[in-house]
Chain A
Amino acid sequence: DTAVSQTPKYLVTQMGNDKSIKCEQNLGHDTMYWYKQDSKKFLKIMFSYNNKELIINETVPNRFSPKSPDKAHLNLHINSLELGDSAVYFCASSQEGQGRKYTEAFFGQGTRLTVV
């Protein structure tokens, strides 16, 4: 049973289109994230949600809008796609441990977005 699943795995679309990526976790975690991995494999956080509330928004363009209908789901909607949005997008979830100690994040398989 997949812990963090995201769909689709591949997404090819034209510039200017709007697309969504869905993510679900069955781990019961309170916190979910979106990370972006560029062509050089560099990973950077985009958003973090805790119990459906947006906590971190790392200077991501307004065209990116995350939505969390419940704490098990975090979707990413992208408007007016640009060539530079081509990347692999990873969803992740985690749970704070005792004494605010961080445990580990579990990642989805990634969505490879190609904008043409």
Chain B
Amino acid sequence: GDSVTQMEGPVTLSEEAFLTINCTYTATGYPSLFWYVQYPGEGLQLLLKATKADDKGSNKGFEATYRKETTSFHLEKGSVQVSDSAVYFCALPSYTSGTYKYIFGTGTRLKVLA
């Protein structure tokens, strides 16, 4: 079945460091791919998405490119800020029983130090 593998955290970085959070997937066909972010004590917010191969999603300085060859959707940011401290989830919509459900990665906690 469909699955998402996400790098384990926590990831601790200094401000202005480069961030990569790895995400690979297994799926039937070519689904859209998503990154969600969960700030402390809050719900999930969509960070970015890509709907087809080679698409690049971007938002708030974060980017991820949908790579069909490597079945990956790694999240990157060139210079992290303390305010980026959160848990990041890679997600894949899986079509089953006539509807979609998200398959989430395990989440990666990011802590950015000033």
Contacts and interface: CB of A to CB of B under 8 A. Distances in A.
A33 B107 CA distance: 19
Contact of B97 (A40, A56, A104, A108): A56
A42 B109 CA distance: 12
B101 interface: yes
B24 to A, nearest CB: 17
Task: Give the interface size bracket for B toward A.
Answer: 20 to 34
Q: Is the interface of A mostly helix, strand, loop or mixed?
A: strand
A101 B87 contact: no
A69 B73 CA distance: 38
B107 A41 contact: yes
B90 to A, nearest CB: 11
B45 interface: yes
Interface string A22-48: 000000000101010000111111001
A101 B109 contact: no
Interface string B44-58: 111001010000000
B99 A104 contact: no
B3 interface: no
Given A48-B101, A56-B97, A42 B44 contact: no
A45 B96 CA distance: 12
A31 to B, nearest CB: 6
Interface of B: 31-32, 34, 36, 38, 42-46, 49, 51, 87, 89, 93, 95-102, 104, 106-107, 109
25 contacts: A33-B101, A35-B102, A41-B38, A41-B106, A43-B89, A45-B101, A48-B99, A48-B100, A50-B98, A55-B97, A55-B98, A56-B101, A90-B43, A90-B44, A92-B44, A102-B31, A102-B32, A104-B46, A105-B102, A106-B46, A107-B36, A107-B43, A109-B43, A110-B42, A110-B43
Interface of A: 31, 33, 35, 40-45, 48, 50, 55-56, 58, 90, 92, 94, 96, 100-110
